[in-house]
Structure 1
């Protein structure tokens, strides 16, 4: 889980590294999901929901990473924001 490693005590650069790793993991999960070919309606729906969730989290974290890079936010703010937005991811 990202929040287990992403703490308010990290520097922005350390947080960016963790986010990069998490984004790469999510990208791999997306590739694996796209390679599956479910044949039942429920399985297709579940795959689509997981892809949608994956895309949302990825976009959100990419935006926050950019904000960290531009020093628009700091790591403590980011951690609080992620917890408020997602709970534990």
Structure 2
């Protein structure tokens, strides 16, 4: 009598294979960065925020909130009386 293989009998084998593939993929992403490659991390392009956008947003927020002072903009209230 022949035995049929079902999905449920192969489940532990498939789970082990999936775990092995996932672990090897995760561990292959761990690499060492050479010293000459670290120089690029301080470039302006690698910064999280664009300085021009940040200055614009700070300026916009100061006028919107009616605040003035520390950011080098105009002083005065939000009413327009400088």
TM-score, L = length of structure 2: 0.30
Which structure has more RCO (C-alpha within 8 Å, separation ≥ 6)? Answer: 1
Q: Which has the larger radius of gyration?
A: 2
Bigger share in helix: 1
